[in-house]
């Protein structure tokens, strides 16, 4: 319990630094005391809303919500403010809290397994599988950082999967994405800027592909990119990055290495090595339990930890409707989505970087769940099947026009239509580059990330 008091004491003394250091590692469930759990959630909420974190405001809020007796009265709050002399040891106290929680989880799982074993379960195999799965899950309790993978780590893990034949089918200046109709102005977006951009499409419409393509271009420009993925794993993201960056059809990546041509294996190897060289310029968190407050804390942490010469250039949150505002105590989903959109806009302004978020469309072709998404966004792009990507909103430029792009599914890349015949974009990928099936020309724009296959 003293460790929990130490964490809360540090949080009360210096909420900004404490949340930057341990906010991504501590979850409310880690507190054994319900009173401490309530205080953690309340203090984080007050800080995220920009309200003062002091004895007067904390007690006032507890009284308003009729929680003061639940946490032990005013004496408990005052004790926490004087429990530690400095917030410098927050990580030490957090580690003790996490270790105690892991032990409690171990005891709980083992006790239940023993009870079920004595009760003669349906099959021993089912009990063993369930218990092993729960025990393996304890390893993740150490914090969300365990879900953080840099580009070189993803490359190593991706190659391990390939070897096992188990392949899974300055921020102030605009950075070119490598697509002319996107990068130019006017009648374009003017490149990747420190804007909150929403890319909307129907299911499987290419939202994630577009964001990965932008993320790679940003990382290649020497900026740090952080991707928060709620729907797909880090290795699935890396697989798409390999297809895009190397201009490699997905069908080849799904093959076993010994079923590919030697030239293709060399191309894949070169592509993976080039992506691995990005290292911490491309970071993925693939924890589906991240709330928007946790995303903000982790993004701040990445921004503060960025080495000289590699400022934070982009945050990708994939995708908007899967994010939870759980620790902001919003109950109605429409209101929750509005809060999330507002928090993304705050993140964009606070860190002065591009924030991109895919969003689903409803059956009427509108942004799903809340019009507040459109109000918060600086740029709204909509993938229109058979036409391209429509610019529905552009706070600082042209709007209401369509960029002539198409999704090249096999190589997971958005490309401009052929400049010679404006054909459908059917491609031949090979030693001669990219050729149009309609006019056999090569009038396709080469995305910034692609450089190996051309």
| CATH label of the domain that carries residue 342 | 3.40.50.300
Residue 25 has which token pair? 């590692």
316 bridge partner residues: 227, 356
> H or E element: which one contains 394?
strand 388-394
- Coarse DSSP helix, strand, coil percentages of the chain, rounded to the nearest 5 percent: 50, 15, 35
Give Cα 106 to chain centroid, integer Å. Answer: 29
Helices and strands counted in the chain (H then E): 17, 13
Q: Is residue 83 part of a domain?
A: yes
| Domain contains 374 | yes
pLDDT by 10s per residue, the chain, length 454: 788 888 888 888 888 888 877 877 788 888 988 889 898 888 888 887 888 888 888 888 889 888 888 888 888 878 887 788 777 888 888 889 888 988 888 898 899 889 888 887 667 777 876 787 677 666 555 444 556 778 888 888 888 777 765 444 344 468 888 888 888 887 788 899 999 999 998 888 889 999 999 999 999 988 999 999 988 899 999 999 999 888 888 899 999 999 999 999 999 999 999 999 998 899 999 888 888 878 888 888 888 765 555 688 999 998 787 887 664 444 566 777 788 888 888 888 888 899 999 988 877 777 766 677 878 889 999 998 878 899 999 988 888 899 988 888 888 888 887 655 554 444 444 434 445 544 444 444 444 444 433 2
Domain shared by 408 and 383, yes or no: yes
Given 142, 160, 181, the domain boundary residue is: 142
CATH no. for residue 7?
Answer: 1.10.860.10
Beta bridge partners, 192, equal 175
**Strand ranges inside 28-187, DSSP E:** 148-150
Q: pTM higher than 0.85 for the full model?
A: no
Q: Are 247 and 309 in contact, with CB atoms under 8 Å apart?
A: no
> ∠ at Cα 33 (30, 37), nearest 5°?
60
Distance (Å, whole) CA 45 – CA 18: 14
Q: Do 55 and 169 share a structural domain?
A: no
| Helix 151-163 vs helix 262-276: crossing angle, to nearest 10 | 150
The answer on 426 and 283 residing in a single domain is: yes
Same domain membership, residue 175 and residue 112: no
Examine residue 11 and say whether the peptide bond preceding it is cis (omega within 30 degrees of 0): no
The pair of three-digit structure tokens given for residue 237, joined into one six-digit string: 């993201």
- Which pLDDT does position 52 carry in this prediction? 85
Phi, psi of 249 (to 5 degrees): -60, 140
Task: Let me know if residue 452 belongs to a domain.
Answer: no
Cα→Cα distances 279→283, 325, 377, Å: 8, 30, 30
- Give a three-class secondary structure readout of 394-450: ECCCCCCEEECEEEEHHHCEEEECCCCCCCCCCEEEECCEEEECCCCCCCCCCCCCC
Report d(CA 324, CA 281) in Å as an integer.
26
Q: Give me the pLDDT at residue 426, please.
A: 43
- Same domain (yes/no): 113, 95: yes
Predicted confidence at residue 213, as pLDDT, reads 92
CB atoms within 10 A of CB 211: 25
Helix (H, G, I), strand (E, B) or coil at 23: coil
Structural domain containing residue 279: 148-436
The number of distinct structural domains making up the chain is 2
Distance between CA atoms of 49 and 343, rounded to whole angstroms?
Answer: 10
What does the alpha-carbon distance between residue 308 and residue 279 come to, in Å, rounded to a whole number? Answer: 14
Residue 96 sits in the same domain as residue 205: no
Which domain-ending residue is among 80, 108, 142?
Answer: 142
Q: What is the spatial distance between Cα 230 and Cα 212, in angstroms, rounded to a whole number?
A: 14
Distance (Å, whole) CA 346 – CA 1: 35
Q: Are 30 and 98 in contact (CB under 8 A)?
A: yes
Same domain, 314 and 244: yes
Domain termination residue (choose one: 90, 116, 142):
142
Residue 394 within a domain: yes
Classify residue 454: in a domain, yes or no.
no
Specify the pLDDT at position 128.
78
Return d(Cα 159, Cα 86) in angstroms, integer: 45
Strand, helix or coil for residue 89: coil
Report if residue 172 sits inside a domain.
yes
Domain assignment present for 84 = yes
* Continuous segment of H or E residues that includes residue 297: helix 292-305
Does 315 share its domain with 259?
yes
In the three-class reduction of DSSP (H, G, I as helix; E, B as strand; rest coil), residue 414 is classed as strand
Per-residue pLDDT at 430: 40
Token pair recorded at residue 171: 């921020």
What are the φ/ψ torsions at residue 359 (nearest 5 degrees)?
-140, 140
Same domain? For 105 and 162 the reply is no
Does 133 lie in the same domain as 44? yes
Q: Which residues contact 97 (CB under 8 A, 6 or more apart)?
A: 3, 4, 7, 26, 30, 31
| Domain-embedded: residue 448 | no
Structure tokens at 104: 């409690």
* Same domain for 337 and 241: yes
- Kindly state whether residues 123 and 158 are assigned to the same domain: no
What residues contact residue 391 under an 8 Å CB cut-off, 6+ apart? 189, 379, 380, 381, 398, 399, 400, 401, 402, 403
């Amino acid at each position: 319990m003293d460790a929990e008091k130490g964490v809360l004491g540090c949080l009360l003394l210096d909420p900004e630094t404490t949340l930057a250091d341990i906010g991504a590692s501590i979850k409310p469930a880690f507190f054994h005391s319900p009173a401490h759990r309530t205080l953690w959630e309340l203090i984080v909420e007050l800080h995220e809303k920009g309200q003062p974190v002091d004895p007067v405001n904390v007690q006032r809020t507890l009284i308003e919500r009729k929680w003061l007796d639940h946490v032990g009265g005013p004496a408990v709050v005052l004790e926490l403010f004087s429990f530690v002399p400095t917030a410098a040891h927050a990580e030490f106290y957090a580690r003790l809290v996490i270790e105690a929680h892991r032990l409690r989880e171990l005891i709980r799982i083992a006790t239940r397994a023993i009870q079920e074993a004595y009760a003669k379960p349906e099959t021993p195999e089912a009990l063993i599988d369930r218990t092993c799965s729960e025990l393996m899950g304890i390893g993740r309790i150490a914090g969300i950082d365990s879900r953080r993978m840099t580009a070189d780590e993803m490359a190593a893990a991706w190659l391990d999967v390939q070897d096992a034949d188990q392949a899974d089918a300055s921020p102030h200046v605009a950075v070119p994405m490598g697509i002319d109709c996107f990068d130019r102005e006017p009648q374009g977006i003017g490149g990747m800027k420190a804007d909150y951009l929403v890319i909307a499409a129907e299911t499987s419409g290419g939202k994630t592909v577009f964001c990965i393509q932008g993320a790679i271009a940003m990382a290649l420009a020497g900026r740090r990119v952080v991707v928060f993925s709620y729907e797909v794993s880090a290795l699935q993201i890396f697989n798409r990055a390999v297809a895009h960056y190397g201009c490699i059809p997905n069908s080849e990546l799904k093959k076993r290495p010994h079923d590919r041509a030697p030239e293709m294996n060399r191309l894949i190897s070169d592509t993976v090595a080039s992506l691995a060289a990005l290292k911490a310029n491309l970071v993925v968190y693939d924890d589906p339990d991240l709330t928007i407050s946790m995303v903000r804390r982790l993004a701040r942490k990445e921004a503060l930890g960025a080495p000289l010469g590699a400022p934070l250039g982009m945050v990708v949150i994939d995708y908007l409707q899967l994010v939870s505002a759980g620790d902001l105590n919003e109950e109605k989903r429409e209101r929750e989505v509005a809060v999330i959109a507002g928090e993304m806009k705050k993140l964009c302004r606070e860190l002065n970087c591009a924030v991109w978020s895919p969003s689903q469309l409803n059956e009427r072709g509108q942004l799903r769940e809340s019009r507040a998404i459109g109000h918060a966004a600086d740029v709204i792009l909509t993938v229109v099947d058979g036409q391209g990507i429509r610019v529905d909103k552009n706070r600082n430029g042209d709007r209401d026009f369509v960029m002539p792009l198409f999704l090249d599914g096999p190589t997971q890349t958005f490309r401009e239509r052929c400049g010679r015949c404006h054909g459908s974009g059917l491609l031949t990928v090979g030693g001669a580059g990219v050729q149009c099936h309609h006019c056999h020309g090569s009038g396709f724009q080469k995305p910034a990330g692609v450089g190996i296959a051309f």
